[in-house]
């Protein structure tokens, strides 16, 4: 299990909550409650039809991820899940959006991908976990990209 | 003639439509069962009155790599309130992949009063039919299962080897990349991997989902014949073994060949590539 002390606080809180639930049905109910909190990407960020560049590879639920930069350089994450049956993808998107938006990019970039198991347990099929991991990897990649861009921007400022 | 009957299947009675389920879901002699890959789907909303049968927790032995035994199956059926003559109608996600898997396991115990809801969960939802999060409870039944019979529907590795030696027909239902050996296992997932890549000698590649039409229902018998007979070279009456990675996708193909096309002897090799690709000394084709 990921060491929750090093995770963004809201994510650590969700993982701790899940870990405290010994009953599988309760865990599942919490994940469904999370999927009910799923928020579709706002039109100011993206409108359908979405670009393939924003699509999560290997995700059967046809998920898309976007990052919106805040004035302080941190990111807000937005998601779309096009498969109406994609409840797991929606719940994970809700976890990522609520717990990672506005958090330090370095911390997001360093998240362990096996976090998916901390959220969903070990019962995930291979196909499902591949897709969810790919969602997390895309969020991490967007954070790394923003970190890189931040450095470039700084250099440009210095050079001018 | 109904849509299902018009598709020319040899045993159309194993399929029911979403309309049929809507009409019969409260019938006391019918039990609707949802079986998914995704454990969140059933609790997020299901056909009213449907019970859940979960492939990992309900159908597999928790310790050994095997299916539940006679007592386990009796307990499962008692829990969902089914008797030996209850008609079990199974549906699920992923084009009924897991539904046909449950159907196959049920047949190991000879529960022949079983049907698949054509189009599965996605079709029911797409038609805007009623769903609920309410989990029903039925009075426990006194179901007494016969011993599990693996002889007819299940192939073990030695039987597969003998089948290969006599040039028997095999269908590999994995992805083309898995069939060629290009992909050994999914990245980061050694649990479902194998030490060797490729396929069982003589096996033809027909990815399982090719049996399904755009709208999630099964393709017509003619379309299925052109795939399995025209392309993969099967002939009616053939003794066929289907396999995938752990035996679940191939249960879908087993269902198609056995019921929709009426092949008399089709077995599912549930050991599949995770067994064959790790066995010492067995032949592999690339």
Residues sharing a CB contact under 8 Å with residue B42, sequence separation 6 or more, in sequence order: B34, B36, B50, B52
Q: Kindly state the average pLDDT of the residues B182-208.
A: 80
Q: What is the pLDDT of residue A160?
A: 30
Predicted confidence (pLDDT) at residue B149 exceeds the cutoff of 50: yes
> Residue B104: what pLDDT?
98
Per-residue pLDDT tens digits for B89-108: 999 998 999 999 999 999 99
- Residues A110-126 have a mean pLDDT of 82
Question: Which among A35, A125, A127 has the least Cβ separation from residue B40?
Answer: A35
Residue in chain B lying closest to A122 (CA) = B56
The beta strand positions in A8-157, using DSSP E, are: 63-69, 75-81
* Residue among B35, B40, B126 with most chain A CBs within 10 A, to mutate: B40
A-interface mutation test, from B44, B62, B125, B132, most A Cβ less than 10 A away: B44
Cα dist from B253 to A8, A94, B212, B267, whole Å: 45, 36, 10, 10
- Give me the mean pLDDT over the B76-86 stretch: 98
- Mean pLDDT of the residues in chain B: 95
- What pLDDT shows up at residue A154? 41
pTM for this entry: 0.89
Asked whether the beta carbons of B192 and B246 are under 8 A apart, the reply is yes
Q: Would you call B81 a catalytic residue per the annotation? A: no
Q: Which pLDDT does position A156 carry in this prediction?
A: 38
What DSSP designation does B227 have? I
| Torsions phi, psi for A111 (to 5 deg) | -60, 140
Say how far apart CA B197 and CA B245 lie, in whole Å.
Answer: 11
Q: Which residue has the higher pLDDT, B114 or A27?
A: B114
Contact (Cβ atoms closer than 8 angstroms) between residue A42 and residue A32: no
Residue B77, Cα to own-chain centre: how many angstroms? Answer: 18
Average pLDDT over residues B266-277: 96
Task: Give the count of beta carbons closer than 10 Å to the beta carbon of residue B38.
Answer: 24
For residue A157, name the pLDDT band (cuts at 50, 70, 90): very low
Q: How confident is the model at residue B185 (pLDDT cuts 50, 70, 90)?
A: low
C-alpha to C-alpha distance for A90 and A64, rounded to whole angstroms? 11
Q: Which residues of B touch A85 (CB under 8 A)?
A: 38, 41, 93, 121-122, 125
Q: Distance (Å, rounded) from C-alpha B97 to C-alpha A149?
A: 44
Distance in Å, alpha carbon of A117 to nearest chain B alpha carbon: 12
For the residues B146-170, what does the mean pLDDT come to?
98
- Which of A85, A113, A123 is opposite residue B39, by nearest beta carbon? A123
DSSP class of B7: G
- Is the pLDDT at B186 greater than 70? The verdict is no
ipTM of the complex as predicted: 0.77
Three-class SS state of B171: strand
- The secondary structure of chain A in percent helix, strand, coil, rounded to multiples of 5, reads 55, 10, 35
Q: What is the mean pLDDT of residues B225-245?
A: 97
State the distance between the two ends of chain B, measured CA to CA, in whole angstroms.
Answer: 46
* pLDDT level of residue A25 (50, 70, 90 thresholds): confident
| Closest CA relative to residue B137, chosen from B44, B77, B74, B51 | B51
Using CA atoms of B146, B147, B153, B159 in order, give the dihedral in degrees to the nearest 10. -160
CA-nearest residue to B128 within chain A is: A84
Share of chain B above pLDDT 90, in %: 90
Question: Would you say B114 and B172 are in contact if contact means Cβ atoms under 8 Å apart?
Answer: no
Proportion of chain B above pLDDT 70, given as a percent: 97
């Amino acid at each position: 299990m990921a060491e929750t002390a090093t995770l963004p606080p809201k994510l650590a809180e969700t993982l701790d909550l899940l870990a405290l639930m010994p009953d599988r049905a309760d865990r599942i109910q919490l994940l469904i409650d999370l999927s009910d909190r799923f928020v579709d990407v706002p039109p100011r960020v993206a409108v359908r039809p979405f670009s393939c560049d924003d699509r999560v590879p290997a995700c059967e639920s046809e998920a898309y991820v976007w990052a919106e930069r805040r004035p302080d350089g941190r990111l807000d994450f937005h998601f779309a899940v096009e498969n109406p049956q994609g409840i797991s993808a929606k719940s994970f998107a809700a976890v990522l959006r609520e717990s990672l938006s506005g958090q330090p990019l370095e911390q997001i970039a360093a998240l362990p991908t096996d976090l998916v198991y901390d959220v969903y347990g070990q019962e995930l099929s291979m196909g499902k976990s591949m897709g969810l991991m790919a969602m997390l990897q895309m969020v991490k990649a967007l954070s790394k990209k923003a970190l890189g861009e931040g450095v470039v921007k700084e250099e440009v400022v210095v050079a001018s | 003639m109904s849509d299902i009957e018009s598709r020319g299947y040899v045993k159309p009675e194993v399929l029911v439509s979403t309309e049929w389920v809507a009409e019969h879901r409260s019938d006391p002699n019918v039990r609707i069962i949802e079986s998914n890959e995704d454990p969140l789907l059933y609790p997020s909303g299901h056909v009213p009155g449907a019970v859940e049968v979960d492939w990992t927790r309900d159908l597999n032995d928790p310790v050994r790599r095997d299916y539940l035994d006679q007592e386990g199956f009796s307990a499962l059926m008692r829990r969902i309130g089914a008797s030996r003559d209850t008609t079990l109608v199974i549906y699920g996600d992923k084009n009924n992949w897991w539904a046909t898997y449950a159907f196959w396991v049920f047949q190991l115990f000879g529960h022949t009063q079983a049907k698949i809801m054509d189009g599965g969960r996605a079709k029911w939802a797409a038609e805007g039919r009623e769903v609920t999060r309410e989990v029903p409870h039925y009075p426990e039944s006194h179901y007494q299962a016969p011993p599990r019979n693996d002889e007819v529907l299940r192939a073990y590795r030695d039987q597969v080897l003998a089948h290969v030696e006599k040039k028997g027909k095999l269908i590999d239902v994995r992805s083309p990349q898995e069939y060629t050996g290009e992909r050994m296992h999914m990245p980061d997932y050694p649990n479902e991997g194998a030490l060797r890549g490729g396929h069982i000698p003589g096996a033809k590649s027909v990815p399982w989902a090719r049996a399904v039409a755009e709208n999630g229902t099964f393709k017509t018998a003619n379309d299925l014949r052109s795939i399995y007979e025209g392309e993969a070279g099967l002939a009616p009456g053939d003794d066929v073994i289907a396999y995938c990675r752990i035996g679940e996708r191939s249960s879908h193909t087993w269902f198609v060949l056995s019921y929709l096309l009426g092949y008399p002897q089709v077995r599912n090799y549930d050991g599949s590539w995770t067994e064959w690709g790790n066995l010492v000394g067995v032949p592999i084709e690339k």
